[in-house]
């Protein structure tokens, strides 16, 4: 590591804090303390992640490769040589999007802070931070303030959401894209912005087209469910365009729209992810469609835990399930309104699609732990959107309104 490692990190901290102060108006005043805690945890998270990568794994991690590739691109860009954008021989893979694209924002961040792993990782991690803030803002727009503080707390403090995104990674970028998508999906008065949703889908498409496809299919699914209740021109139009959009995102990674094409892509990805000591045995045939989602939503099982990282991963996912069990009445309420609440419908469909798709494609517990973090905001939404606290608040509000009308 170069002599600019710590100065670059300090520059990144300054930029991150400035961005944080400028963005504090994205959360209500009464929750700004949680917001600033989130900023601090991001900084500490980068330090912790750097220790794990270099102290325990001796630099053998994807973020190190992304950083070095970004540094290579930065050297070209600093000389006004933009050939890495167009010359396929300089790309990391045959496609512009995906793994190759991650090097471009990494290069920009290297140019901003210098040659510093911690510095570039912190700037990249800031994308995930603001993506989660945007998701929480969509929750606030949809369900009000009664559970917003608790929801924001979990998004800011839940370890997998700040640890796995404390570096240059596709998951970090995707969370930012999903945040943009959610701001478009739920605007004021629960209206939708096609431009906002499209921008979020585009950001996800740049690094993981398959996630864009899942988001688009989930969007179509939510409109399909709602259309039975409210058959409007806009609902049908969004359903059609989102379906075609999902097929386009899949075609960009040379996956057709048929079930067979998607299954072949999943098998290829499964072979690619079969490495390291955390490899799991995948089922085949119909059984794969049953066990795949179980792998994403429940593994590692208690008897599979054999290392410190697996212990942490185990507690991460089962903490979510414990919250779901404690708030099971709220979860049941959420499922009962799936035909009337578009955000709930979207969350359920997306969780199902991701669990199935990733379950078929991933055969490594480490990759599963890292990539499934995108589900946590939606799982928490189902837990808290119709909580007892919010239901009591709404009942009291309705009661007060009726009393006011009677007194008037």
Same domain flag for 291 and 388 = yes
Q: Report yes or no on 215 lying in a domain.
A: no
Phi-psi domain of 299 (left: phi exceeds 0; alpha: psi -120 through 50; beta: other): beta
Q: Which residue has the tokens 């429940």?
A: 298
**Dihedrals phi, psi of 238, to nearest 5 degrees:** -65, -40
Q: How far apart are CA 140 and CA 143, in angstroms?
A: 5
Query: Is the confidence at residue 195, as pLDDT, over 70?
Result: yes
Query: Given pLDDT bands bounded at 50, 70 and 90, which one contains residue 389?
Result: very high
- Give the Å distances, CA to CA, from 113 to 10, 49, 116, 117, 159: 9, 19, 7, 10, 26
Mean pLDDT, rounded, of the chain: 89
Phi-psi domain of 256 (left: phi exceeds 0; alpha: psi -120 through 50; beta: other): beta
Q: Report yes or no on 243 lying in a domain.
A: no
pLDDT attached to residue 308: 80
Give which of 107, 105, 111 is closest to 68, Cα–Cα. 107
Q: Report yes or no on 139 lying in a domain.
A: yes
Number of domains in the chain: 2
Phi-psi domain of 31 (left: phi exceeds 0; alpha: psi -120 through 50; beta: other): alpha
| More confident of the two residues 311 and 109 | 109
With beta carbons less than 8 A apart as the criterion, state whether 113 and 73 touch: no
Q: Report yes or no on 210 lying in a domain.
A: no
Same domain flag for 142 and 38 = yes
Q: What is the mean pLDDT of residues 333-362?
A: 93
pLDDT attached to residue 229: 56
Query: Is the confidence at residue 250, as pLDDT, over 90?
Result: no
With beta carbons less than 8 A apart as the criterion, state whether 254 and 97 touch: no
pLDDT in tens, 311-343: 889 999 999 999 999 999 999 999 999 989 999
Q: Report yes or no on 327 lying in a domain.
A: yes
Query: Given pLDDT bands bounded at 50, 70 and 90, which one contains residue 121?
Result: very high
Query: Is the confidence at residue 255, as pLDDT, over 90?
Result: no
Residue 277 CB contacts under 8 Å (≥ 6 apart), including other chains: none
Q: What is the mean pLDDT of residues 227-253?
A: 65
What are the structure tokens assigned to 286, written together? 């119909």
Q: Report yes or no on 209 lying in a domain.
A: no
Q: Report yes or no on 164 lying in a domain.
A: yes
pLDDT attached to residue 201: 95
Query: Given pLDDT bands bounded at 50, 70 and 90, which one contains residue 266?
Result: low
pLDDT above 90: percentage of residues in the chain: 68
pLDDT attached to residue 133: 98
Query: Is the confidence at residue 171, as pLDDT, over 70?
Result: yes
Query: Is the confidence at residue 136, as pLDDT, over 50?
Result: yes
| More confident of the two residues 394 and 234 | 394
Helices 376-384 + 308-326 axis angle, to 10: 20
Instruction: Tell me if residue 393 falls in helix, strand or coil.
Output: helix
Q: What is the mean pLDDT of residues 198-210?
A: 95
pLDDT in tens, 10-53: 999 999 999 999 999 999 999 999 999 999 999 999 999 999 99
Q: Report yes or no on 203 lying in a domain.
A: no
**Dihedrals phi, psi of 338, to nearest 5 degrees:** -60, -25
Domain range for 371 is 258-408
End of a domain among 140, 173, 206? 173
pLDDT attached to residue 167: 96
pLDDT attached to residue 252: 61
Query: Is the confidence at residue 1, as pLDDT, over 50?
Result: no
End of a domain among 138, 157, 173? 173
pLDDT in tens, 62-79: 999 999 999 999 999 999
Q: Which residues on neighbouring strands pair with residue 279, listed in sequence order?
A: 364
End of a domain among 129, 145, 173? 173
Q: How far apart are CA 46 and CA 109, in angstroms?
A: 15
Q: How far apart are CA 325 and CA 246, in angstroms?
A: 33
Please give the model's pTM, rounded to 2 decimal places: 0.92
Phi-psi domain of 59 (left: phi exceeds 0; alpha: psi -120 through 50; beta: other): left
């Amino acid at each position: 590591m170069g002599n600019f490692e710590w100065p670059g990190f300090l520059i990144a901290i300054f930029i991150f804090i400035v961005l944080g102060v400028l963005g504090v108006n994205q959360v209500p005043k009464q929750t700004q303390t949680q917001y600033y805690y989130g900023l601090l945890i991001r900084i500490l998270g980068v330090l912790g992640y750097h220790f794990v990568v270099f102290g325990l794994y001796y630099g053998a991690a994807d973020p190190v490769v992304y950083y070095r590739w970004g540094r290579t691109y930065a050297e070209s860009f600093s000389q006004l040589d933009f050939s890495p954008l167009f010359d396929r021989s300089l790309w990391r893979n045959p496609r512009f999007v995906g793994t190759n694209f991650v090097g471009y924002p990494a290069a920009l961040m290297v140019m901003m802070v210098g040659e510093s792993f911690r510095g570039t990782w912190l700037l990249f991690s800031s994308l995930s931070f603001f993506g989660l803030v945007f998701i929480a803002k969509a929750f606030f727009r949809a369900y009000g303030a009664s559970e917003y503080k608790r929801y924001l707390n979990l998004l800011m403090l839940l370890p997998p959401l700040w640890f796995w995104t404390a570096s240059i990674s596709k998951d970090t970028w995707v969370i930012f894209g999903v945040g943009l998508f959610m701001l478009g999906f739920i605007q004021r008065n629960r209206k939708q912005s096609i431009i906002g949703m499209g921008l979020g889908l585009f950001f996800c498409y740049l690094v993981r087209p398959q996630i864009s496809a899942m988001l688009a299919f989930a969007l179509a699914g939510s409109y399909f469910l709602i259309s039975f209740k409210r058959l409007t021109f806009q609902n049908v139009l969004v359903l059609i365009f989102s379906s075609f959009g999902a097929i386009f995102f899949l075609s960009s990674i040379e996956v057709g729209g048929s079930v067979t094409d998607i299954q072949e892509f999943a098998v290829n990805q499964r072979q690619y992810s079969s490495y390291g000591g955390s490899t799991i045995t995948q089922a085949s045939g119909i059984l794969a469609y049953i066990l795949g989602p179980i792998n994403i939503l429940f593994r590692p099982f208690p008897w599979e835990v054999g290392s410190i990282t697996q212990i942490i991963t185990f507690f991460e996912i089962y903490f979510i399930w414990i919250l779901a069990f404690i708030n099971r009445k709220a979860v049941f309420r959420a499922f009962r309104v799936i035909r009337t609440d578009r955000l709930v419908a979207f969350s359920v469909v997306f969780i199902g699609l991701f669990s199935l798709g990733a379950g078929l494609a991933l055969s490594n517990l480490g990759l599963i732990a890292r990539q499934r973090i995108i589900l946590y905001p939606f799982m928490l939404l189902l837990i808290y959107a119709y909580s007892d606290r919010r239901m009591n608040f709404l009942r009291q509000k309705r009661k007060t309104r009726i009393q006011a009308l009677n007194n008037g």
